[in-house]
Structures are given as structure tokens and as C-alpha cells.
Amino acid sequence: MPTWNKVLQEITEKEKAGHQSVDLVRRAYLLKLNRHTKRNIIAYYSGWLTKPPQTPNMTIGDDDLNGFMSVVHALDRSRGLDLLLHTPGGDIAATEALVSYLWKMFDRDLRVIVPQLAMSAGTMVACAARTIVMGKQSSLGPIDPQLNGLPAQGVLEEFQVAIKQVEHEPASLPIWQAIIGKYHPTFLWECQQAIQWASQMVENWLANNMFAGRQTSVNDAKKVVEFLSNHDITKSHSRHISFDKCLEIGLNIELLENDNKFQDLVLTVHHAYMLTIAKTQTIKIIENHKGIALVTLSG
């Protein structure tokens, strides 16, 4: 496998020759991966790990659907789709629309490959696949919704704590009024609805694709979602959930290390995308194995 340094060296050598090096190297390895799997491949990469946190458009949003429409066009959809996913997550509604589109285009024949991180809404997309490919370095994340940067379940739990404490210690009321007063009047209701929406959506995806055909599909889906959405269990929205834990809770996981050639190709592609983001103003890439891409730049 070409390591990070070897991929960087290859990019540097092509730069000296006057080529668009990052594009050439990245697309060459993505095509090699396609030839190995004989499946359609779309890479979705965000630059959130290296770009300033205030940079816009690094999460899953409605604009992404235009990118997917562009890269899906002219693909042989009977060959299914492998989606390489590296994202911090994003908007629930946009995620729902994206999964609906991919299911329709590829008749639910979706495999999600997570070379490093697919967090939050990225984990939701992964749960819409038939299988998820993860390596020892890969992680998914909790799917508890965040509203205005706040964990919806955490907000509801805090409110329940406030009610109980005020009942037992009325003198604490002014303190809790200052805390709860920062929420607008319908915020608690919005938190409750967001939790139900995300949970029901992922349960449906799991039961009707990854667990389809099982007599226990609904219960299996509920078990997975109970773990991924429970703030009491995961403790933090940024919690990294490894492949062995994903297997333990019942997700259909393929271990990347089981196929050495496949592992080498996936990780080399990953290095190429991460170097593209690091060396350019790119903050997001949606690209297929034919070299058709929608690239979002900062500034």
C-alpha cells in the first residue's frame, strides 16, 4: 500500500512536471478501486478535520444532492454503489433526502466504506446500507440530534433534572430559570421531535435494508438505534464507536483487513483525498470513479 508519504511524494513529482497532481493521483487510485470491486464508487469527503471549524458547507446539506445527481448520472446503476464516506454529519432532512435518492437510484444496493470517520448523520447514512466496511482505525458515532449545537437528548434530560431539583429544593428555582431561560419557547418540543424523527428514520432504514428478510428485523433495528441514539450510553456526540462495538450492537460490518488488496486500495484513496484537502482550498468533494466531481472550495 502506498503510505501517506508515498502518495504525497507521487503528488509532488507530478507537480514538478506541471500536472494537476492531486486530481490525477486521486482519480487514478479511485479507478483502481473500482476495477477491483467492479462496483460503482462515489467518494464523499469533507475537510472538517483540517479546515477552520467556522468554515461553512463542510457538513451534509441539501446542496449535496446536486453533487450526487451529477456523479450518479451515466453510471451503470445495476452494479450497485460503494460510497466512501468521511464526514462529521449534517442536517437530518438533507440526510433523509440523500438516502432516499441513493436507494431509488441503486435499488438499495448500497455499501458504505468508512476509511476513518463517518459521524452523526454520516452514521445514519451508513445504517442505510446493506453492509458497512470498517477497518481497525474506522469509527462511527452517535446519532442523537444536535439543535443549534446542543444535544437534543441532553437538553431534555437537563430539563427533567431541573424539575426534580426544584421540587426538592425550591430555592434552586432562580438558578434553573437562568439556565432554562436561554431556550426559546418551542425548543424542548423541537428536541423531542428531532429525536423521534432521527430514531424512526434509522430504524426504518435498518429494518428494510441491512436487516431485510429477518423475522427479527424490527427488533434488531431498535436495538442498534437504542445504542446509537442514547445519550446516557454514548455520553458525548463526538464519541468514536469502533468496528468491534458496531459488530457487538448488531450492525452488518465487513472488516477491511479481511482483504489485503481491498484494504490497500481503500486506504490509498483515503490518503489521496485527505492530501487533496490539505494541499488545496477544497472543503468538500463528491466524486465518482469516472472522474466526474463536484468540488466545494473555501472562500
Give the DSSP H or E segment for 86.
Answer: strand 81-86
C-alpha atoms less than 13 angstroms from C-alpha of 13 in its C-beta half-sphere: 7
Cα–Cα dist 30/113, whole Å: 13
Question: Which residue in 47, 152, 56, 64 sits closest to 100, CA to CA?
Answer: 64
Q: According to the model, what pLDDT value does residue 175 have?
A: 77
Q: According to the model, what pLDDT value does residue 2 have?
A: 61
Give the cell for residue 173: 428555582
φ and ψ at residue 283, rounded to 5 degrees: -115, -15
Contact 37, 131 (CB under 8 A): no
Give the DSSP H or E segment for 180.
Answer: helix 173-180
Q: According to the model, what pLDDT value does residue 14 have?
A: 66
pLDDT tens digit sequence for 216-272: 999 999 999 999 998 888 888 899 999 999 999 999 999 999 999 999 999 999 999
Pair type for strands 241-242 and 139-140: antiparallel
Q: According to the model, what pLDDT value does residue 4 have?
A: 66
Q: According to the model, what pLDDT value does residue 48 have?
A: 96
The CATH number of 1-141+240-299 is which of 3.20.20, 1.25.10, 3.40.50, 3.90.226? 3.90.226
Q: Which of 118-127, 179-188, 244-253, 289-298 has the lowest mean pLDDT?
A: 179-188
pLDDT tens digit sequence for 12-57: 776 655 556 888 889 999 999 999 999 999 999 999 999 998 899 9
Listed by start position, the domains of the chain span 1-141+240-299, 144-235
Average pLDDT value over all residues in the chain: 91
Bigger pLDDT: 288 or 147?
Answer: 288
Cα–Cα dist 221/199, whole Å: 10
Q: Which residue has cell 441503486?
A: 106
φ and ψ at residue 57, rounded to 5 degrees: 70, 25
Bridge partner list, 282: 297
Prediction pTM value: 0.91
